[in-house]
Structure 1
């Protein structure tokens, strides 16, 4: 079954482990807010402990789950540059493989929020006419995102010239 998701040529290029770090920071922050709300409910309204306690426990459980998920998700991302298309794979439980022909690319986005920039990573998004074949590659080191954007733009222009 693993051959189903193997690139035809070469090996998968993996995204930066810093993607997991950024996602852990975001998920931990959200979980901390939920835990804090639960604790405040218990302290301020002790008669409603039966609401505050589950909220705090759910926040804590969500934080632990998110911490584990971030690492597994980061390790599942990969991309491979073939002669005619770009392959992008992701997913742990439900794997997905998208093949995007260079000639079908309309434009390439590079995006990085403040936390992404602080950790030196970016997301490259490939757009085609079909929303089904658009693909994101999050967590690329900034230099690799720039290289990939330039290469894909160049290949897209040369391959799409006959359309």
Structure 2
């Protein structure tokens, strides 16, 4: 079954471990805001015991998300083949996306404030069908730039035959 989502005859490239750091910081901010809101909201309305209990539940959920974020980051990988790009990710729900170079319309490189602070970027391939779009988060900016240029060149070269 593993060969279905990550063929072994392909040389896979993992994404940067910094992706997990960015997602953990983002998760910490979100859980922190939720925890403070619940603590104050429940504490001032129904009692501080309920507010503290909600804080404990939010803290447990944050710890669980910390573990899941690391597992998810390690599942992301991509491979460049002669005619297509393959992207595989997911732990519980695994996904393999295969995008033929000739079907690509354009390639985006994005990096939000946290991604820039941690030195990573996201490459996204767009096709005519949104279901076949592929996204590769957690790439070093130099690798994202190289991949963008290579995919654009291959996409343009192979689109002429359509």
What is the TM-score when the length of structure 2 is the normalising length?
Answer: 0.92
1:81-125 per-residue CA deviation (whole Å, 9 max, x = no partner) reads 001100000000111001000000000000000110111100000
Pairs within 5 Å for 1:38-49: 38-41=38-41, 45=44, 47-49=46-48
Structure-2 residue corresponding to 1:28: 28
Q: Do the aligned residues in 2 keep the contact of 1:41 with 1:49 (CA within 8 Å)? A: no
Structure-2 residue corresponding to 1:64: 63
Structure-2 residue corresponding to 1:132: 131
Q: Do the aligned residues in 1 keep the contact of 2:87 with 2:134 (CA within 8 Å)? A: yes
1:154 partner SS: helix
Q: Do the aligned residues in 1 keep the contact of 2:110 with 2:123 (CA within 8 Å)? A: yes
TM-aligned CA deviation for residue 46 of structure 1: 6.9
Unaligned 5+ runs, structure 1: none
Unaligned 5+ runs, structure 2: none
Structure-1 residue corresponding to 2:154: 155
Structure-2 residue corresponding to 1:90: 89
TM-aligned CA deviation for residue 42 of structure 1: 5.5
TM-aligned CA deviation for residue 50 of structure 1: 5.6
2:122 partner SS: strand
Structure-1 residue corresponding to 2:13: 13
Q: How far, CA to CA, are the matches of 2:160 and 2:91 in structure 1?
A: 37
Coordinate RMSD, CA, aligned? 1.7
1:132 partner SS: helix
Q: How far, CA to CA, are the matches of 1:26 and 1:37 in structure 2?
A: 17
Q: How far, CA to CA, are the matches of 2:143 and 2:64 in structure 1?
A: 30
